[in-house]
Structure 1
Amino acid sequence: MSQYRTFTAADAVEYAKQFGGVDDPSTLVSAEEIGDGNLNLVFKIYDNQGKSRVVVKQALPYVRCVGESWPLTLDRARLEAQTLVEHYKHCPQHTVQITHYDAELAVMVMEDLSSHRIWRGELVQGVYYPEASRQLGEYLAQTLFHTSDFILHPHQKKAEVARFINPEMCEITEDLFFNDPYTDHERNKYPEALEPLVASLRHDDALRIAVAGLKHRFFANAEALLHGDIHSGSIFVADGSLKAIDAEFGYFGPIGFDVGTALGNLLINYCGLPGLLAPREAADGREQRLSDVRDVWIAFAHRFLELAEAKTTDVAMAYPGYAQAFLRKVWADTIGYCGTELIRRTVGMSHVADMKLIKDEAMRTECIRNAITLGRTLILAADHIEDVEALLARIRQAV
């Protein structure tokens, strides 16, 4: 039996030699730690020709940027690995491949994606990948449909819900998405000039009730095996390729949460671009983000309905028209969760490069203001936005 210990770079190399699946393990000679290191240790393993071959990732037992006062379950490594393994079964072209994991050491070995780039970094620099949004929609449709009641036998579905129960990581989501930004919490961080706007979130009864409903559905609706944190920093892209990574928040929840989180990060970039790029490039980039939002939803909905028509196993759910009715509910959830993502990324603690890299303080404050305003608008209007074209119109009107 293995016993948990925090890996060094040398440990990662030795582990990769044993479990990396490389034809000649003796060629693996060095490791480089990559990533922000807030939750995990991530090592890229190199051979004696200087080529990266595999990645070794180990969960830390606490949030490094906070310290041991914020402990984290090591079981999240198992949940992440098993979520990605399950998603890979249904959408291998858009899911990172996990080749080995050890639950006790909280470590996994995965394919190297050095040929790809983190999507958020590319979006911030104005680099456009025309196929990425449709590929993301495909990933969402395949993984969410194939882990849902549309295709799983009820006994299997209930067993899977139990296998992927993830209370500690879900609690983090529950706090950061639905609690902290709407209270005067010490983890919140935003420009002082926006205090009146942020304070108004705490006292908006309609908003607080809508957020409570979104949180309740996050608690209660075990619709499919979610990635749980599918933002642009958890997606690698290359020309013609997209791969989802980092699924340690995976659990069975409402389908609209994954879709809404994905769209919310595209809209964070939409709001931040005027502070990141020159005016002409920013305007073009914002139009591309709106097209991305449209393409993600259309690709997701089209493929989900196609799969439902061909593969639904439940007699009642296979009745003509039900899948369309179900997606109308998912659509409303998607818009609401999209709004909470915008607010938690700008009011709460989990800020992102789309805003942090804006150098001009006044411009950054204005971009953050627009994201908060858009988030509030979407949460309140979620039940009244009929389709994706109406959503795009509402975005243009709000920002």
Structure 2
Amino acid sequence: MSAYHPLTEAEAIERARAVPGVFAPGAELTSREIGDGNLNLVFHIQEAGRGKGLILKQALPYAKVVGESWPLTLDRARIESEALIIQGRLAPGLAPKVYAFEPELALTIMEDLSDHVIMRRGLIEGNTYPLFPGHIGEFLARTLFFTSDFGMNQQDKKLQTGRFINPELCKITEDLIFDDPYTKSPNNNYDPAIEAEAAALREDAELHAEVARLRYGFLTKGQALLHGDLHTGSIFVTKTSTKVIDPEFAYYGPMGFDIGAVMANLLLNAAAQGGRMSDAAALADFRAYLLDTVVQVWAEFETRFRALWAEHAVDRLLRESGYLNVFLAELLQDTFGYAGCKMVRRIVGLAHVADIDGIPDEALRNRARRVALAVGTTLIKQHRTAASIEEMRAIAAREFAAKEG
């Protein structure tokens, strides 16, 4: 058994070579470390002249964004590997295939998706993905339904919950999303130009009350196995394919947290495009696409979730009581609230999004940050009255017009 240590590229190649059926015997393999996240090493192993290869992802015992002063458990690699396997089984074709997991090295060997692009990058470049709402709606409906008490034996669900407690990574979420942005935290990171907006977050008692309500839901609503970090940087896409990656934050929590994360990142990109696209017509068209996608994601999710309920709900009383409508109404409200929290955190918190931070012009960059904060805080404050996904589109459109007009 190998003692834990960060792999070298040469070691990564040898482990990739041992995976049966991927590379030709004795083939020349190359490795490139491509990890651009905060927590892991990621090696892309290829055979010369063959294109796709394998991805080896190794958890580090600390957060790269901070350093060794922020230690992290290596058990998150097991959680990620198990979550990927579950998601791949429940939503076939929408998660990368896992070939092997080496617990002693916190190492997962998985499918190479180099023929895809990270969705965040694609959206920044102004690309559209017409099949994405159906794909992500399917992924969300199936992974959330079949890991919940609605679609899973309740005793089995309790046992599975125990395998995904994930306290250290949940603590990161609890602090960075539901606490730090509303205090003078040393973890916060924002341009001094938006100090007035950051101070307003710290002083808004109404906002704090709603965030506290959402935080408590994150702490206590063990509804389903979440991805836990489902942003556009955790989704690979092509025009015809969607693959969800990186579920190392997986745990049992409120379904709206995952759905809201998808919505938040679409809205963050929409806010960013006001500083990226100079052509007014092109901006209007692309924003309409993004806001339409927000609406379509919820519609696709809801349609599939209702169908799964009708066919597979394991609890007779729940299935026949009409509770589904009540549940989905509450879930939509959670989705609004968690989307707002995700947006706020990405503007004033520790880690931002390239959509906005990559805007070349400083004034437009800070305007986009103010727009995103306005959308996010409105979603939070109004989440308990939300009755339609169309309201999310309307809130975003209204704040874009108000802050950019």
The TM-score by the shorter chain falls in which range?
A: over 0.9
Partner of 1:327: 328
Partner of 1:74: 74
Q: Which amino acid aligns with 2:4?
A: Y
Structure-2 separation of matches of 1:238 and 1:16: 25
Structure-2 separation of matches of 1:40 and 1:361: 31
C-alpha change, 1:161 and 1:192, in structure 2 (3 Å) is same
Q: How far has the Cα of 1:393 moved from its partner?
A: 1.6
Q: Which amino acid aligns with 1:319?
A: E
- What secondary structure does 1:160 align onto? helix
The reply on whether 1:189 has 2:224 as its aligned counterpart is no
Partner of 1:306: 307
Q: How far has the Cα of 1:197 moved from its partner?
A: 1.5
Partner of 2:214: 214
Q: Is the 8 A contact 1:61 1:74 kept in 2?
A: yes
- What secondary structure does 1:349 align onto? coil
Q: Which amino acid aligns with 1:150?
A: F
**Superposed counterparts of 1:264-275, under 5 Å:** 264-275=264-275
Please, which moves more after superposition, 196-205 or 172-181? 196-205
Partner of 1:339: 340
Q: How far has the Cα of 1:192 moved from its partner?
A: 1.4
Structure-2 separation of matches of 1:208 and 1:296: 28
Q: How far has the Cα of 1:398 moved from its partner?
A: 2.4
The reply on whether 1:149 has 2:146 as its aligned counterpart is no
C-alpha change, 1:22 and 1:198, in structure 2 (3 Å) is same
Partner of 2:94: 94
**Superposed counterparts of 1:272-283, under 5 Å:** 272-279=272-279, 280-283=281-284
Please, which moves more after superposition, 191-200 or 370-379? 191-200
- What secondary structure does 1:92 align onto? coil
Structure-2 separation of matches of 1:33 and 1:57: 10
Structure-2 separation of matches of 1:351 and 1:77: 23
Please, which moves more after superposition, 58-67 or 253-262? 58-67
Q: Is the 8 A contact 1:20 1:54 kept in 2?
A: no
Aligned length: 399
Q: Is the 8 A contact 1:335 1:379 kept in 2?
A: yes
Structure-2 separation of matches of 1:306 and 1:234: 27
Q: How far has the Cα of 1:384 moved from its partner?
A: 1.3
**Superposed counterparts of 1:169-248, under 5 Å:** 169-248=169-248
Residues 184-240 of structure 1: per-residue CA shift (max 9 Å, x gap): 112212221211121111121111011011111101011000000000000000121
Q: Is the 8 A contact 1:161 1:251 kept in 2?
A: yes
The reply on whether 1:164 has 2:154 as its aligned counterpart is no
Deviation beyond 6 Å, 4+ runs, structure 1: none
- What secondary structure does 1:113 align onto? coil
Partner of 1:392: 393
Residues 314-370 of structure 1: per-residue CA shift (max 9 Å, x gap): 122112421121111110000000000110000101111110110111111111001
Q: How far has the Cα of 1:28 moved from its partner?
A: 4.9
Q: How far has the Cα of 1:395 moved from its partner?
A: 1.9
Structure-1 separation of matches of 2:197 and 2:244: 34
Q: Which amino acid aligns with 1:134?
A: G
Structure-1 separation of matches of 2:20 and 2:31: 13
Structure-2 separation of matches of 1:64 and 1:20: 32
- What secondary structure does 1:161 align onto? helix
Q: Which runs of 5+ in 1 are unaligned?
A: none
Q: Is the 8 A contact 2:52 2:115 kept in 1?
A: no
Structure-2 separation of matches of 1:150 and 1:157: 10
TM-score, scaled to structure 2: 0.96
Q: Is the 8 A contact 1:20 1:109 kept in 2?
A: no
Q: Is the 8 A contact 1:4 1:105 kept in 2?
A: yes
Q: How far has the Cα of 1:26 moved from its partner?
A: 2.6
- What secondary structure does 2:338 align onto? helix
Structure-2 separation of matches of 1:39 and 1:3: 19
Q: Which amino acid aligns with 1:9?
A: E
Partner of 2:139: 139
Q: How far has the Cα of 1:241 moved from its partner?
A: 0.5
Q: CA RMSD in A?
A: 1.2
Q: Which amino acid aligns with 1:130?
A: P
Please, which moves more after superposition, 315-324 or 173-182? 315-324
Q: How far has the Cα of 1:292 moved from its partner?
A: 0.6
Please, which moves more after superposition, 186-195 or 217-226? 186-195
Structure-1 separation of matches of 2:21 and 2:122: 30
Structure-2 separation of matches of 1:330 and 1:84: 24
Q: Is the 8 A contact 1:59 1:106 kept in 2?
A: yes
Structure-2 separation of matches of 1:67 and 1:50: 36
Q: How far has the Cα of 1:44 moved from its partner?
A: 0.7
Q: How far has the Cα of 1:7 moved from its partner?
A: 0.4
Partner of 2:254: 254
Residues 283-330 of structure 1: per-residue CA shift (max 9 Å, x gap): 211111101101110000110011001100112211242112111111
Structure-1 separation of matches of 2:221 and 2:342: 18
Structure-2 separation of matches of 1:99 and 1:253: 27
**Superposed counterparts of 1:123-138, under 5 Å:** 123-138=123-138
- Using the aligned pairs only, state the percent identity: 44
